[in-house]
Amino acid sequence: MQHTYSLHKIDSTDNFGFSPAKYSKFKYGDDSIAKEFGNDLAEGFIENYLSKTPILNQTVVISSPYAFIPTATFAMKDYFVFRLNRWLAENNLPVVQETKVTRSITYKEDYGELDEAQRLSLIGNDKFHIDKHFLKDKTLIFLDDIRITGSHERMITKMLKEYDLENQTHLLYFAELTNRNIHPNIENFLNYYHVKSIFDLDDIIKSERFSINTRIVKYILNSEPNSFKIFIQNHSDAFLELLYNMAIGNSYHTITAYQENLNLLKLQLLMAEQTQNIILT
């Protein structure tokens, strides 16, 4: 049994029901907006569903699939869980558990610019993995930031069938494209509303509320090398180390398009290390 809920229905390109600028910043790691979106989604789900049809058994919240680097949804998930747990505790219901869907394939293509057929073709060979035994007899809440064509949803449904999971399942989205006359690349309009170049990331990264995710790592590594050189010189060694470690953890060093910038990043880190050693001696 599956139930889908979305907080915002996108029926027009003139009014999304939420701020495109905030959404764009959220997609590139603004944790303060992740908190706002997570709280809003939880409030909407509670008001429109749980207050009328409470889930009495154990619930498991599952963020959008990822390999090593979390997606933007992962940050939103934390605040969704915090708000949902308060309501569950106040109503003497079990607080949520969490688990992860692991995906096996990573790619450099910008998913947001693709149409429905291209999206299905891109992720069709991907494999999603989940702990079947942990989920036994529990209600599942799959969380994602936006539903455009339903391609990822179909992959989740396919995974559930492959694992013979017949759990009650809820698919929750911060926003959903409901007007089929709007091209799916509206997602990229939202993704890039604030971020027009690599340098538009500075305010997000240097804020006190930054949470690294897959999108920002891919965007930085895919930038033009001369811009990349300037960019990394303007950021802390701590951030550059985080960027490099996340990239390696997601096997981005094996993707040809990222290798030049990763080598530049590695060189920058080596130079910083040598400078630090000189200072210490």
For the cut 90, the answer to whether the pLDDT of residue 101 exceeds it is: yes
Region 136-141: mean pLDDT is 97
Alpha helices, H only, 169-280: 186-191, 202-205, 214-221, 225-233, 237-249, 256-280
pLDDT at 225: 97
Where do you find CATH 3.40.50 in the chain? 2-191
Percent of the chain with pLDDT over 70: 91
6 vs 18: CA distance, rounded Å: 13
Percent of the chain with pLDDT over 90: 84
More confident residue, 279 or 33: 33
pLDDT at 120: 63
Is the torsion defined by CA of 28, 32, 36, 38 positive or negative?
positive
Cα 225 to its chain centre, rounded Å, is 25
pLDDT digits (tens, 9 = 90+) for 182-218: 999 999 999 999 999 999 999 999 999 999 999 999 9
Q: pTM value?
A: 0.91
pLDDT at 107: 60
* Buried residues in 116-154 as b, exposed as e (16+ CB within 10 A): eeebeeebeebebebeeeebeebbbbbbbbbbbbbbbbe
Q: Which long-range contacts (CB under 8 A, 24 or more apart) does 237-246 make?
A: 237/269, 237/272, 239/205, 240/265, 240/268, 240/269, 240/272, 241/269, 242/212, 243/212, 243/217, 244/269, 246/68, 246/69, 246/212, 246/217
For the cut 70, the answer to whether the pLDDT of residue 235 exceeds it is: yes
pLDDT digits (tens, 9 = 90+) for 242-269: 999 999 999 999 999 999 999 999 999 9
For the cut 90, the answer to whether the pLDDT of residue 99 exceeds it is: yes
pLDDT at 207: 95
139 vs 203: CA distance, rounded Å: 39
CATH 3.40.50 fits 2-191, yes or no: yes
